[in-house]
Amino acid sequence: MKGPKTVYDGLPAPTQAHKSSSSCATFKKALLVPVIVAACLTGRHYLSSNAAPWSSGFLDDTIGRDLRAKEPLCPQSVPLVPEKNAQMWARLGSSYGTKEFVTKAVEYLGGAVRVRTESFDKMDVVGKDPRWEVFGPFHNYLLETFPLVHSTLALTKVNTYGLVYEWKGSDSSLKPLLLAAHQDTVPVDMTTLDQWEHPPWSGYFDGERVWGRGSSDDKSGLIGIMTTLETLISNEWTPTRGIVLAFGFDEEASGLHGASALGKYLEKTYGENAFSMLVDEGGEFSQQKGAVIAVPGIGEKGYLDVRVEVTSPGGHSSIPPAHTSIGILASLLVQYETNPYKVSLNRTTPVYGFVQCLAAHAPDVPASLKKKIRKSLGSNKALKEAEKELFQDPTIKNLAATTQAIDLIDGGVKTNALPERAWAVVNHRIATESSVDATKAHDTALLKELAAKFNLSYTAFGETLTSEPAYGTLTLSDAWGAALEPAPISPTDADAAAYKILSGTIKATYNAHRSLKDDGIVVAPGIMTGNTDTRYYWKLTENIFRYNHHNQGSGKALSGVHTVNESIPVDAFVEMIRFFTTLILNVDESKAL
C-alpha cells in the first residue's frame, strides 16, 4: 500500500488531565523561566501525559499573550485540546481509528460523490435553469445519511438549494460558530472520462482513497462537518455556543445564486458581526522547507477584469493608416507588460506573516535569509533585502502583488477590412493592501500617454478623460461588473482569540492523529489567490478562516482537484473529521471568543 502511513489511533484516555493542567498553570507566574515555557510551548506535557494542560481559558488571560510575545517572529499557539470534554474527545479520537468508523466515513463520502452536483458558469436563476435540480437528490441524501443532524438542528433552505443548519447553544449570549462548505463541484470534462482511474461519480473506495468528483473539493468538507455533528449528537453532546452551517451550491461558479443568497439571509437573521468565527474551505497543510506548515487563509486577493477597447475608422486595407485598432491595442498591451505593478513586501501583508513563519520554523530556509527576515522586523533596509531574495520565488512575489494577465483578445473580421474595433481583457488579482479603485486608477494612468499619442478620446471606468475630436477611442471598463475588493484581513495578532483557537486546534488534531509526542506542525497565515463563498460573508464576522485540515502532501499530484482522478485518502478524510470535532469542542469551551 503506497501513500502515507496510516495512524488511526487517537489518544488514550486522559488520566492525568487535571494534574497536568495544574502543573502548567503553576508555571504561569514563572514564565520568565525559559525552559519551562519551552516545555509548555512544545505541548510535551499534554502529550506525554495524554492530558490537557491548556484549556481555552488559558488563552483568555494575559499570560497567554506574554507567552506568545516571547517569540516575536511567528509566535505559535500551543496545541489546544478540549478540557471540559476531554474524555469524550479522547474517546471519539480512538473511535475514529477503528475500522468500523472508517468504513462508515467511506460510505458517507462515497455516497455523496455518487450524487452528481455540478455547477456551471452563467446558469440561469433557480427555478428556470433545470440544472439546479440535481441538488434535490443531494438534500435527500443528506437527510437519509445524517438523521440525527436533521432531527436535532433546524434546517432552512435559502434560494431553494442553499442549506443553513442551526444548532442553538444553551447560552444564547455567546456568538455562534459558523462552518461553511459547498455542495457543488466543478463539472467533469466528458472527453476525459476514459482517463479516470475510477469513474468520476463512482465514489469508489480502493482500500486507501475515495475516488470521484467532489471527493476532495468540497464534499470532504461538507460530509466531514455532517459526520462530526452526527457523531457528537449520537454521543449526547449538546453545544453551549450555537453552531450554524452554511452550504452553498455554486461556489465553483462564483456563488452568485448560493452563497450570495446565504450571506444575505445570515446577515438578516443573525446580524452583522454575529458569529465568533467562520471556517470555510481553503488553505491546507503540507511540507515546506523542512517543516509541516498549515496555512489558513486569513484574506483573499481582490479581483478585476479590465476590458481595454480601441475603436478607429474602418476602410480598405489597401490604403491603411500607420496604426490600426489592432496595432494600437497591441501597443497598449505591451505597455502593460513592460510596466508590471510595483510590488513590495509590506509589513501589513499576510505574505510577510507567512515568511516570518518560514524564517522562524522552517529548517531549510537559508540562515542568511532567516537573519534578514528577523532583522526586517525593525529595519527597512533588511526588509528590502529580504524582499529581494524572497521575490525570486514567483509564488511569493505574486501573492504579495497586484498581478496582471492578458487573458482574452479579439478584433478584426476580414483581411481586406481595417478593424474598427479591437479589445482585450486584462485579469487582475488585487494585492490585499490595495483596492479596486487603486487598480482602476493605475491602469487608467498607465495608458494615458498612449491614448494621446494615438489621438484617441479616452474614457476609463465611466469617466471621460479626453473628449476632443480624435482619431479613435480608447475605453477601459470592468469587463463583466465582477470586481471584488480584497477581503478584510482576519486578525492574527496576540489578542486574536479566534486565530489562536484555530491554530491550537490544528496542532492538537495533527499531533493526535499521528500520536506525536512533540508538536509537529507550524501554523502560518496565508492568503487565497482565488475566492471562496466567504466573499459573501465578510460582514458576519471579522474572524474568517479558509482552511481545510487536509494533507496536501499526501497527494497533491494525486488529488485531482478540478481535473481527472479527483480522490482523497481516507486517512486524510478521517483527519478532517478529527479536526472538526476538535474545533467544535474547543470553540464551545472558549470564553475568549
Relative to beta strand 162-167, strand 243-248 is antiparallel
For position 565 contacting ligand NAG by CB under 6 A, the verdict is yes
184 is catalytic: yes
Task: State the number of binding residues for Zn ion (CB under 5 A).
Answer: 3
Q: Whose Cβ is closer to ligand NAG: residue 471's or residue 538's? A: 471
Judged by CB under 6 A, the number of residues near ligand NAG is 13
> Could you tell me the smallest distance in angstroms from the CB atom of residue 192 to Zn ion?
19
- 3 state SS for 126-161: CCCCHHHHHHHHHHHHHHHHCHHHHHHCEEEEECCC
Binding of ligand NAG by 470 (CB under 6 A): yes
The option from Zn ion, ligand NAG, none interacting with 431 (CB < 5 to 8 A, set by class) reads: ligand NAG
Lookup: cell for 311: 475603436
60 binds, among Zn ion, ligand NAG, none (CB under 5 to 8 A by kind): none
Pairing label, strands 162-167, 154-158: antiparallel
Figure out which of the listed residues 346, 466, 515, 529 binds ligand NAG, where binding follows CB under 6 A: 346
118 or 218: CB nearest Zn ion: 218
Q: Which stretch binds Zn ion (CB under 5 A): 156-164, 273-281, 334-342, 571-579?
A: 273-281
Asked whether position 469 contacts ligand NAG by CB under 6 A, the answer is yes
- Of 83, 230, 250, 251, the active-site residue reads 251
> Could you give the CA distance from residue 108 to residue 104 in angstroms, rounded to a whole number?
6
Q: How far is the CB of 432 from ligand NAG (least distance, A)?
A: 8
- R_g over Cα of the chain: 26
Distance, in Å, from the CA atom of 355 to the CA atom of 374, rounded to the nearest integer, reads 10
The answer to whether 412 touches 419, Cβ cutoff 8 Å, is yes
Strands, DSSP E only, in 152-236?
Answer: 154-158, 162-167, 177-182, 209-211
Backbone angles phi, psi at 408, to 5 degrees: -135, 145
Q: How far is CA 317 from CA 48, 129, 311, 418, in A?
A: 82, 45, 16, 6
Q: Residue 437's closest CA among 304, 301, 537, 338?
A: 304
Find the shortest distance in angstroms from Cβ 104 to ligand NAG.
27
Sequence letter at residue 363: P
Q: Per the annotation, where are the binding residues for Zn(2+)?
A: 182, 217, 252, 280, 562
Q: Of the ranges 14-22, 25-33, 243-251, 430-438, which one interacts with ligand NAG (CB under 6 A)?
A: 430-438
Catalytic pick among 83, 118, 184, 433: 184
Q: What are the cell numbers at 286? A: 503540507
CB of 547 to Zn ion, least distance (A): 12
455 is a site residue for ligand NAG (CB under 6 A): yes
- Per CB under 5 A, does 218 bind Zn ion? yes
- 284 an active-site residue? no
Contact positions toward Zn ion, by CB under 5 A? 217-218, 281
Hey, which residues are catalytic here? 184, 251
Contact positions toward ligand NAG, by CB under 6 A? 195, 197, 344, 346, 431, 433-434, 455, 469-471, 564-565
